[in-house]
């Protein structure tokens, strides 16, 4: 199975109002699904953004982030991983399976 076909095991939410654009999460992310935005937040910082797919739910970005509340990692329950892949293919969100 290639990386592109693996189902997501997690999902990231990045609060652009809290992110200061330090880039620590980008460097620490094993699957490299976080990048720097071209847009500025209201403080004038370029912020981190989630690519939308490929998150493993490991939480390393959350642990390394110096800003409390800037990153939230949602891990999909193992029984919901297949459902999440199906929902992504159908353009739906599997929010009912998300948990911390």
What's the pTM value of the predicted model, to 2 decimals? Answer: 0.68
Q: Is residue 44 included in any domain, yes or no?
A: yes
Q: Is residue 2 included in any domain, yes or no?
A: no
Q: Is residue 29 included in any domain, yes or no?
A: yes
Q: Is residue 37 included in any domain, yes or no?
A: yes
Task: Report the CATH number that the domain containing residue 87 is assigned in CATH.
Answer: 3.30.70.20
Structural domains of the chain, count = 1
- Give 40-96 pLDDT, tens digit per residue: 999 999 999 998 888 999 999 999 999 998 999 998 876 555 555 565 666 655 444
Q: Is residue 50 included in any domain, yes or no?
A: yes
Can you give the chain as a three-state secondary structure string? Answer: CCHHHCCCCEEEEECCCCCCCCCHHHHHCCCCCEEEEEEECCCCCEEEEECCCCCCCCCHHHHHCCCCCCEEEEEECHHHHHHHHHHHHHCCCCHHHEEC
pLDDT over 70 (residue 97): no
Task: Show the domain range for 35.
Answer: 10-94
């Amino acid at each position: 199975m290639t990386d592109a076909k693996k189902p997501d095991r997690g999902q990231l939410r990045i609060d652009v109002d809290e992110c200061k654009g330090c880039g620590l999460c980008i460097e620490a992310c094993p699957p490299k699904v976080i990048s720097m935005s071209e847009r500025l937040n209201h403080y004038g910082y370029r912020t981190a953004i989630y690519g939308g797919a490929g998150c493993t739910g490991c939480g390393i970005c959350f642990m390394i982030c110096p800003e409390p509340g800037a990153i939230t990692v949602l891990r999909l329950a193992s029984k919901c991983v297949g459902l999440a892949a199906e929902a992504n293919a159908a353009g739906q969100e599997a929010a009912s399976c998300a948990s911390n």
